[in-house]
Amino acid sequence: MTDYLKKAGLLPYLEELGFHLVGYGCTTCIGNSGPLSETVSQTIKERDLSVCAVLSGNRNFEGRIHAEVKMNYLASPPLVVAYALAGTMDIDVYHEPLGKNATGQAVYLKDIWPSQQEVQDTIASTLKADLFQRGYENVFKGDSHWNQLTVAKGRNFNWQADSTYVKHPPYFQGIALTPAPLTDITQARVLVKLGDSVTTDHISPAGSIKADSPAGKYLLARGVSKDQFNSYGSRRGNHEIMVRGTFANIRLRNLLAPNTEGGVTLHQPSNQLLSIFDAAMRYQQENVPCIILAGKEYGSGSSRDWAAKGPKLLGVKAVIAESYERIHRSNLVGMGILPLVYQPGENADSLGLTGTEMYAITGIDNGSAKMVTITATPAQGHAITFKAQVRLDTPQEIAYYQHGGILAYVLRQLMKG
């Protein structure tokens, strides 16, 4: 891409406008473009501003570009430049000027937009085979940094206990050759109660790590300075970081903790407001399983593995939703989390579920049941009993669930072999 822009003669002019080429791949797509200036950041917080980003990527979820940027709009690369020139989203770019030139004349989008012929001529003169040949001829050799890495010998990976980037994951701890029979889920608590269209961006850790977040506190306690936090994406090999960032999106609305935004919940029965991670750890200490209540299209958007791995490590045993995004439902099964669906016409609100009840999910029948019975018992009043459909859709998914997830299933197949 750098060669494209240089050869087309565009790079100097883009840089004059402030568009410097600073990285490749997911630099902006997932919040790796760096912090806002301190003045801007402080103003957003003080005035509770809803600020916007315009991007030419394919992800416009809440907080995706930056945790403090609430609204993101998709546009073509030329339109991104045009909106930057205008400096506002509150504009009709077809009829209002983007700004004025040096002589004070109004400049409109049509004045700067290239013709189709200009675009084709630039492509024809810029995209040549030698660009690709040069770019890829040394792709497997690596640069000096890569080649100077010290690599330990041996068949097994040499885990470093003090690494904050790559840590030995716990998925296989205590695993036996044969899985224990499944049991019903009893005395469970709701960790998070969610509405409709909660995406994997709300669930999965993404973007920058805040110093006052559970993940930030974890790093600070290990001597990592704030300027070396990097991002969740760069630390995805450390499950301690990722589990602390699960459900930590600043735009998450947990209905169990009304009038809040972000990764907080109410621990039951203490009714204490805690971070979702801290509440989950307390439930684990109390030997209390967790469930999630959700609305329609749970897990929509770009489905990612940590949107299922994170809840698994938080102690989530089941999700009850009105519907699921296809891949996310499959990923939940792959991590041994039971996906359940309300009966048609029913949801948490219609059933009167607040999320503060104690839950029992019975009739799982070692994963072969098509329906289960759920009983939600409040601290006061009558229990609420309802049916839910089990979304283990194939015999193979039932097998994954019986083994506690696909990782344990595959390992046991290898062990038997």
Give the Cα-Cα-Cα angle 40, 42, 43 (nearest 5 degrees). 65
- From 136, 170, 195, the end of a domain falls on 136
Residue 124 lies in a domain: yes
CB distance 189 to 283 below 8 Å = yes
Q: Let me know whether 124 and 196 are in one domain.
A: no
Domain span including residue 189:
185-204+246-416
Strand partners, 100: 106
Residue 213 lies in a domain: no
Residue 174 lies in a domain: no
CB under 8 Å to 332, separation ≥6 — which residues?
299, 308, 311, 319, 324, 338, 339
- What's the pLDDT score for residue 66? 80
State both tokens at 32: 């790796």
- What's the pLDDT score for residue 401? 97
State both tokens at 12: 């100097």
CA 402, 198, 54, 15 dihedral sign is negative
Question: How far is 291 from 280, CA to CA, in rounded Å?
Answer: 10
Q: Give the CATH number for residue 266.
A: 3.20.19.10
Q: Let me know whether 199 and 126 are in one domain.
A: no
Question: How far is 311 from 276, CA to CA, in rounded Å?
Answer: 10
Residue 218 lies in a domain: no
Burial of 245 (0-12, 13-18, 19+ CB in 10 A): buried
Q: Let me know whether 59 and 196 are in one domain.
A: no
Question: How far is 270 from 54, CA to CA, in rounded Å?
Answer: 43
Q: Let me know whether 121 and 194 are in one domain.
A: no
Q: What dihedral angle (degrees, nearest 10) is formed by the CA atoms of 25, 27, 10, 74?
A: 90
Question: How far is 252 from 266, CA to CA, in rounded Å?
Answer: 14
- From 136, 159, 194, the end of a domain falls on 136
Q: Let me know whether 251 and 388 are in one domain.
A: yes
Q: Let me know whether 316 and 412 are in one domain.
A: yes
Q: Let me know whether 81 and 198 are in one domain.
A: no
**Residue written as token pair 């957003």:** 44
- What's the pLDDT score for residue 31? 65
Residue 78: asked if its preceding bond is cis (omega within 30°), the reply is no
- Successive 10-residue mean pLDDT values, the chain, 417 residues: 90 93 74 81 92 83 77 91 94 95 96 94 92 87 88 88 93 91 96 94 86 94 93 91 93 93 94 97 98 96 85 98 96 97 97 97 94 96 97 97 96 90
Question: pTM for the complete prediction?
Answer: 0.85
Residue 220 lies in a domain: no
φ, ψ (nearest 5 deg) of residue 68:
-95, -5
CB distance 185 to 289 below 8 Å = yes
CA 112, 117, 119, 124 dihedral sign is negative
Q: Give the CATH number for residue 92.
A: 3.30.499.10
HEC secondary structure over the chain = CHHHHHHCCCHHHHHHCCCCCCCCCCCCCCCCCCCCCHHHHHHHHHHCCCCEEEECCCCCCCCCCCCCCCEEEECCHHHHHHHHHHCCCCCCCCCCCCEECCCCCEECHHHHCCCHHHHHHHHHHHCCHHHHHHHHCCCCCCCHHHHCCCCCCCCCCCCCCCCCCCCCCCCCCCCCCCCCCCCCEEEEEEEEECCCCCEHHHHCCCCECCCCCHHHHHHHHCCCCHHHCCECHHHCCCHHHHHHCCCCCCCCCCCCCCCCCCCEEEECCCCEEEEHHHHHHHHHHCCCCEEEECCCCECECCCCCHHHHHHHHHCEEEEEECCECHHHHHHHHHCCCEEEEECCCCCHHHHCCCCCCEEEEECCHHHCCCEEEEEEECCCCCCEEEEEEECCCCHHHHHHHHCCCHHHHHHHHHHHC
Residue 261 lies in a domain: yes
Q: Let me know whether 72 and 195 are in one domain.
A: no
- What's the pLDDT score for residue 30? 67
Q: Let me know whether 106 and 197 are in one domain.
A: no
Q: Let me know whether 117 and 191 are in one domain.
A: no
Q: Let me know whether 262 and 128 are in one domain.
A: no
Q: Let me know whether 190 and 132 are in one domain.
A: no
Residue 81 lies in a domain: yes
Residue 141 lies in a domain: no
Count: domains in the chain: 2
- What's the pLDDT score for residue 65? 78
